[in-house]
Chains A and B, each alone.
Chain A
Amino acid sequence: MPSITINDVTIEVPDGTNVIQAAEMSGQEIAHYCYHPGLSVAGNCRMCLVEIKALSSKQPNGLPKLQIGCNTIVQDGMVIESENEKVRDARRGVLEFLLINHPIDCPICDQAGECKLQEYYIDYGGHDSRFELKSKTEKHKAVAIGPGVMLDQERCILCTRCVRFLEEVTETHELTIHERGDHSELSLAHGKSVDNPYAANIVDICPVGALTSREFRFEARVWYLQSTPSVCTGCSTGCNIEVHSRAGSIYRVKPRSNFEVNDYWMCDYGRAIFSDNGRADRLLSSLSRESGGFVNARFEDAALRSARALQSEPGPIAVVASADLSLEEGFLLGEIAEQLGGGLKIITSPASSEFCDDGFLISEDRHPNRQGLLALGYVEARRLHKSVNRLLVARDNPAAGEESWDAYLESAGATIVISDNFDETTAYADHVIAVGSHFESDGTFMNGKGRVQRFAKAVDAPTGAVEGWRALGYVLGALGGTRYESAEEVFTALAARHLGLSGIGYDALGNDGVQSGVSAQWAGASVPLDAAALDR
């Protein structure tokens, strides 16, 4: 491991590390625009200039010209200065060049507050303009380059991050640079539109406000947004995300890097899921059936009545779930069933979908926690093979599925539905417990490869709805089972009992999650079982 010194901080870094990365490892930042760790090195912005004071222990001489940090691979004994006067002067110069033709329309720019031009101007610029405003090069503003992305050519600093992403990651080549010199402009390649499943990532990596999300445009000032780490529920990949919210509303979702899962990226489908959070058919209160109709109920009451109803009915019990349940919810449902004498736990969600595994992130299974539920002892079945008397339906809508469930739903003596929205199945319920979405709760999923990942509560559930773990914990408590005080307590219990992960809480999952040992065991278990084989 080469040992290097950056601004008097000496640190060992892995072979092949570049100066920007090495500085980061030593807790320092080297200003940069075009470099992105997930893309090839372009070396065009010239912002990351540093002075090499000594090349290596073998060549202790420095270099007369400043070098770009992004394309300088460290060598043992290298000495680098990134904040001396010469470097700061050069950087100020580059920044001035970047700004002479920039429109500086920060007041109407979505990027304001998270813009690298603004940040580095504070760090290195601070100059007055020496350029005549009226001779700025004019280009096109607000060009829709795809269904989700808007381009402002004047704001573009031509760093080519977006071009490289579309060349190297999606290999779809929609964007290119036309013209030369200061007439260069980012443009669509002939006949193309940026319309691929990962298009919105270019908005994230654009260091300035040249690429904006058409969905998020003018929706919020980013400095008001609060960021919460979470996991995407769009498919079994489980891309790590940040949920950006304000005053109880979610404004956007961005990928959070995790090299075991999604690197720096996520798909556009997953990015759009948050909009379901505000859908019109959300359940705003739990419901209990009284003389044929539903009346609103406090969740405690609905939970107690549910417990009673389940206790008072004899006969077989089945938990019918979608693979969207968190591990905590799945576990608590199982505990409830055990408390009632044990029963069948099935996942009705199909593992296949109209999506295909694309070899990158998107997987065919559009649910986030199938592996987790299998690890908890759930089995896959599209339907029941005979009627059961007690049904616990959780985040699932069998009444709308391909199989006919009407008979089971009608004949059950007690049907409890746990859901965040009205649907075909809630209509059959005796009691409906209104719960929040996964954006509104803490919890964990196990992705398709057996990685256990945590999501944190980003916003509150609508008044009248509670977190799923809380609602189910209440039912369990009412049945005489363990009373859990937090999602984490539930997790600790289930991790020890079902995942072979003893004594761990949420902190142990860290930002990147933990690979569970059960993955191999369940890797082949997604073959749908015929429920007839499960007659107990």
Chain B
Amino acid sequence: MNEKVLLHFQDTSADLTDIEQYLGEGGYEATRKALTEYEPDGLVNLVKESNLRGRGGAGFPTGLKWSFVPKDTGKPVYLLCNADESEPGTFKDREIIEHDPHQLLEGIIIAAYAIRCEIAYIYIRGEMALGYKVLVKAIADARNKGFLGKNVFGTQLSIDIHVHRGAGAYICGEETGLIESLEGKRAYPRIKPPFPAVYGVFGCPTIVNNVETLACVKHIIERGSDWFKSIGPEGGPGPKLYCVSGHVRKPGVYEAPMGTPLRDLIDRYAGGMLPGRTLKAVIPGGSSVPILRAEETAINMDFDSVAKAGSMLGSAGIIVMDNTTCMVRALRTITHFYHHESCGQCTPCREGTGWLEKLLIRIDSGVGTDEDLKVLDSVAQGMMGTTICVLADAAAMPVRSFLAKFADEFEAHVRGEDCRADAVHRRVA
């Protein structure tokens, strides 16, 4: 397999959470180079040239996002590192934070310099207690070395990082929900416009980037944009972390080039299906994206290829389901999550997520009707594209795709037939 970049800690005996050992591996050279050899705009251009696309879910081009920060507004600019990682099936950022936090700090310092920001925040999911401790220590160590604080690396620049812990709501990962939460308010996503790049945290220009995105930045500076572009498809390249979970032998986070075939990730990286089971379906990008049937999984895992297959790369949370899975039960579980996590601001999302779950409980309990299936699809349809943030779409897309792709199973449930997956389950168990 390829050299690991983001998960370099797996290839070295060094403890990369220890700053001395990290420095021993060439740590902070990329940052020194960025701050002493580049102008901020040069860095923005370099990242643009690398074609780095955001790893938080939407795949927005990072360099382009940075270029939206207005100059000379007289207001401070903020960089927020989104470490809220709450999308079901997603657990990659945690790996970076817990094992190689300094590569993230480097990415943050470089990005901060590029957008002329002096204060950056890492908004970390509240449950990640270890990650929080690791980051606090890493920041203190970096500050002691003069990499953070005033006159970083002997320059005139001041850059500092604060860590802020969330309190357990999925919606805090949505960038404007995150901003509100960081300001000490309820995480109600904001209506846009204005966009955060113009009016973000504390009313100031703000860039929000995912942990993995920022970690990539460090490596782009270190190895160049051509190197980055050489990994996977040129339009959205780079090393990529894939979170494989579900009915595979070795669930876990795997680093592989962008565009690695999905079947490779399941069969080679994650060790294949559990003994005696066959692949039934895969959700390729975290619970929010449309599901793929087994026969649709011969695809490459990059933004454009997955989109072409009718789903999304999203957070690269690959949820693998085998033939013991009841699709009605699986969808009910997913829908329960969105019902629980909707912030409740927008009418369609607040009321729709609850309605979806109530319908699925009925269908799953064997008292659903044909009409319920129709209503389910139409409720989901009515939630899409009508709300402040895309959580409503994230709740609706799985519903619509499960219904479209596993219609027979849903119909069998409302006809009161025994759940076929249960039967398989009994046989294999």
Contacts and interface: CB of A to CB of B under 8 A. Distances in A.
Interface string B353-397: 111001000000000000100010000001001111000000000
Contacts of A43: 191, 388
A137 B345 contact: no
A180 interface: yes
A334 B385 CA distance: 68
Interface string A80-102: 00000000001001101110110
A100 to B, nearest CB: 6
A181 B353 contact: yes
A280 B230 CA distance: 91
Given A44-B345, A135-B358, A93 B382 contact: yes
Contacts of A157: 347
Contacts of B353: 181-182
B411 interface: no
A181 B344 contact: yes
Contact of A180 (B344, B358, B385, B386): B344
A98 B347 contact: yes
Interface string B302-329: 0000000000000000000000000000
B169 interface: yes
A97 B351 contact: yes
A219 interface: no
A90 B383 CA distance: 9
Secondary structure of the A contact surface, majority rule = loop
Contacts of A68: 191
Contacts of B375: 130
B351 A46 contact: no
A346 interface: no
A41 B348 CA distance: 18
B344 A183 contact: yes
B95 interface: no
Interface residues of A, number: 34
A93 B351 contact: no
A181 B349 CA distance: 8
Instruction: Specify which of A45, A96, A180 lies most central, judged by the most chain B CB atoms within 10 Å of its CB.
Output: A180
Contacts of B339: 181-182
A46 B340 contact: no
Contacts of A42: 191, 345
Instruction: Specify which of B355, B371, B387 lies most central, judged by the most chain A CB atoms within 10 Å of its CB.
Output: B355
Interface string A453-473: 000000000000000000000
Nearest to B385: A65
B386 A49 contact: yes
A158 interface: yes
B341 interface: yes
Contact of A184 (B344, B385, B387): B344
Contacts of A55: none
Interface string A281-304: 000000000000000000000000
B247 interface: no
B50 interface: no
B388 to A, nearest CB: 6
A177 interface: yes
A41 B191 contact: yes
Interface in A186-227: none
A71 interface: yes
B167 to A, nearest CB: 12
Contacts of B387: 46
B352 interface: yes
Contacts of B342: 180-182
B355 A131 contact: yes
Contacts of A98: 347, 351
Contacts of A90: 382, 386
B343 interface: yes
B191 A46 contact: no
B8 interface: no
Nearest to B349: A181
B385 A46 contact: no
A66 B348 CA distance: 14
B343 A180 contact: yes
B169 A180 contact: yes
A47 interface: yes
B191 A181 contact: no
A130 B386 CA distance: 20
Nearest to B354: A182
B348 A46 contact: yes
5 contacts: A46-B347, A93-B348, A94-B386, A135-B358, A182-B339
Interface of A: 41-47, 49, 65-66, 68, 71, 90, 93-94, 96-98, 100-101, 130-132, 135, 137, 157-158, 177, 179-184
Interface of B: 169, 171, 186, 191, 193, 339-348, 350-355, 358, 371, 375, 382, 385-388
Given A46-B346, A182-B342, 16 more contacts: A44-B346, A44-B347, A45-B346, A46-B348, A46-B387, A94-B348, A96-B382, A97-B351, A97-B352, A100-B351, A177-B186, A181-B344, A181-B350, A182-B339, A182-B344, A183-B344
